[in-house]
């Protein structure tokens, strides 16, 4: 396991004859904070506000879940702000490299609110007694035909008054608007120092890996899963976060 300091994301800076399918391995872990901040507009604002939402909705003696936690951005944001007694945060990710690095970060910065880490597929995890569930840019990596079942299981494991926060890269039925927001996102990445080649190679790597859907598809699925009032609370170009209530 590497203990190196985080590095700048140069994973796609060199021309590759064949761009491999994107995976969350050790190389991605090393650059992950830089990669997500330079690629996802509003990422730091979303984390800040996940902390605020957890402060409001975490119920005493309940669980908060961070599903597809990566290095624990959302877990740390929640842990810093939760005041309710007896809350613990369950952070789950299928990538061993992510979980190993998150464990190292916890060793140096363990918050008062306990965070437990599990390396597992969120499709197989038990969810219960949940007052706050976070899927921060994770559902987009789950096969589309598995998403309903996962959201039903999440909704079934939630307490009355609990919330689900769902952040996703989204697409639009209106092709003209979809082209515009993709172009604005491209500009955002270029302004953050990514070259045209890096942007293009990363897009190829994510093809058929990151599978976006429309806001309407997300809203309908949340309702079908038994959650209520699904609404967007954050959006920037083709990135949005929704909140839904049990």
Contact between 64 and ligand GEK (CB under 6 A)? no
Instruction: Please count the helices (runs of H) and the strands (runs of E) in the chain.
Output: 8, 7
DSSP 89-135: EEEEES-HHHHHHHHHHHHHS--SS-EEEEES-GGG----SEEEEEE
Contact between 240 and ligand GEK (CB under 6 A)? no
Q: Give CA–CA dist 154/230, Å, rounded.
A: 15
Give the one residue of 113, 142, 166, 244 binding ligand GEK; rule: CB under 6 A. Answer: 142
Contact between 123 and ligand GEK (CB under 6 A)? yes
Q: Give CA–CA dist 127/124, Å, rounded.
A: 10
Contact between 238 and ligand GEK (CB under 6 A)? no
Number of neighbours of residue 238 by Cβ within 10 angstroms: 20
Contact between 121 and ligand GEK (CB under 6 A)? yes
Q: Give CA–CA dist 92/64, Å, rounded.
A: 11
Give the one residue of 68, 157, 162, 230 binding ligand GEK; rule: CB under 6 A. Answer: 68
Binding mask 155-194 for ligand GEK (x = CB under 6 A): ----------------------------------------
**CA angle (38 as vertex; 32, 43 as ends), nearest 5:** 80
Contact between 73 and ligand GEK (CB under 6 A)? yes
Contact between 95 and ligand GEK (CB under 6 A)? yes
Binding mask 12-41 for ligand GEK (x = CB under 6 A): ------------x-----------x-----
- Can you name the residues that pair with 168 across neighbouring β-strands? 240
Supply the angle between the helices 26-39 and 43-57 in degrees, to the nearest 10.
90
Contact between 150 and ligand GEK (CB under 6 A)? no
Give the one residue of 102, 137, 188, 239 binding ligand GEK; rule: CB under 6 A. Answer: 137
Contact between 138 and ligand GEK (CB under 6 A)? yes
Contact between 122 and ligand GEK (CB under 6 A)? yes
What the block records as the tokens of 151 is 């959201």
What is the closest distance, in whole angstroms, from the C-beta atom of residue 11 to ligand GEK in the complex? 12
- Can you name the residues that pair with 170 across neighbouring β-strands? 213
Contact positions toward ligand GEK, by CB under 6 A? Answer: 24, 36, 68-70, 73-74, 92-95, 98, 121-123, 136-138, 141-142
């Amino acid at each position: 396991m590497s203990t190196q300091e985080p590095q700048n994301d140069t994973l796609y800076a060199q021309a590759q004859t064949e761009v491999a399918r994107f995976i969350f391995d050790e190389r991605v872990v090393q650059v992950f904070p830089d990669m997500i901040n330079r690629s996802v507009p509003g990422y730091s604002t979303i984390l800040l506000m996940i902390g605020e939402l957890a402060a409001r909705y975490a119920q005493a003696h309940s669980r908060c879940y961070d599903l597809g936690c990566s290095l624990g951005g959302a877990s740390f944001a929640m842990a810093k702000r939760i005041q309710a007694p007896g809350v613990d945060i369950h952070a789950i990710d299928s990538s061993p490299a992510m979980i190993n690095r998150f464990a190292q970060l916890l060793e140096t910065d363990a918050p008062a609110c306990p965070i437990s880490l599990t390396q597992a597929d969120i499709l197989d995890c038990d969810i219960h007694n949940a007052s706050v569930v976070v899927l921060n840019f994770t559902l987009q990596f789950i096969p589309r035909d598995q998403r309903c079942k996962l959201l039903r299981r999440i909704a079934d494991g939630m307490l009355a008054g609990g919330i689900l926060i769902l952040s996703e890269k989204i697409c639009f039925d209106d092709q003209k608007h979809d082209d515009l927001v993709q172009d604005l996102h491209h500009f955002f990445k270029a302004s953050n120092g990514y070259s045209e080649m890096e942007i293009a190679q990363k897009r190829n790597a994510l093809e058929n890996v990151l599978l976006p859907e429309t806001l309407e598809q997300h809203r309908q699925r949340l309702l079908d899963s038994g959650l209520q009032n699904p609404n967007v609370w954050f959006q920037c170009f083709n990135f949005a976060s929704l909140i839904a209530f049990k």
